Amino acid sequence: MSDHERTFVMVKPDGVQRGLIGDIVSRFEDRGLKMVGGKFMQIDQELAEEHYGEHEDKPFFDGLVDFITSGPVFAMVWEGQDATRQVRTMMGETDPAESAPGTIRGDYGLDLGRNVIHGSDHEDEGANEREIELFFDEDELVDWDQIDAPWLYE
Ligand code: UDP
């Protein structure tokens, strides 16, 4: 298993407005994941529709696009062993109401349409790479050595 798997993660507008960026970043840092990209940005209509394209025909699509473009987000790329699946586990279920306490959505959310965070789907092969490319240029990602790597990986 590669220590260099990269996954796309984003604090959604509700998480930004509620001041949760720092806490969410800390959780991934504490876990041992390495941030290799980070961008505070506003998503426009076109990017929102592309990012959530798989949900185009769903009844919640328009509301989702309105929500994700309603204020700034903090987009990130995190790297580490099994990063995509580990981030999803730390996020909890799609619906905060079904998410266990201790997970991000389980600790900070109550409602499906306000679930604080996005992370690439580990069951959708290539979703992480697709989403990283959509949000980041190659030169916005930083290769660096984490000094605690020998203590994180056998
Ligand atoms: N969503 C929604 N209503 C629904 C289902 C999903 O508002 O009935 C939103 C929710 O913000 C979710 C996003 O659409 O995070 C994408 O849905 P997906 O099933 O891909 O969930 P995720 O991968 O974010 O857990």
Instruction: Please tell me the distance from the alpha carbon of residue 146 to that of residue 135, in angstroms, as a whole number.
Output: 23
ipTM value: 0.97
Residue 97 lies in a domain: yes
Taking a C-beta distance cutoff of 8 angstroms, is the pair 150, 50 a contact? no
Q: Is 127 in the pocket of ligand 1 (CB under 6 A)?
A: no
Q: Is 121 in the pocket of ligand 1 (CB under 6 A)?
A: yes
- Percent of the chain residues past pLDDT 70, beyond the cut: 99
Residue 103 lies in a domain: yes
Tokens of 93: 């279920």
Domain assignment of residue 93, given as a range: 6-41+73-152
Whole-model pTM: value is 0.97
Residue 30 lies in a domain: yes
Residue 56 lies in a domain: no
**What mean pLDDT comes out for the span 20-49?**
98
pLDDT, tens digit (0-9, with 9 covering 90-100), for 4-24: 899 999 999 999 999 999 999
Residue 94 lies in a domain: yes
- 52 Cα nearest atom in ligand 1: 16
Residue 65: what residue type? V
Instruction: Please tell me the distance from the alpha carbon of residue 154 to that of residue 23, in angstroms, as a whole number.
Output: 27
Q: How many Cα atoms within 13 Å fall on the side-chain side of residue 45?
A: 1
CATH number assigned to the domain comprising residue 118? 3.30.70.141
Which is nearest to 90 in space by CA: 27, 153, 2, 26? 27
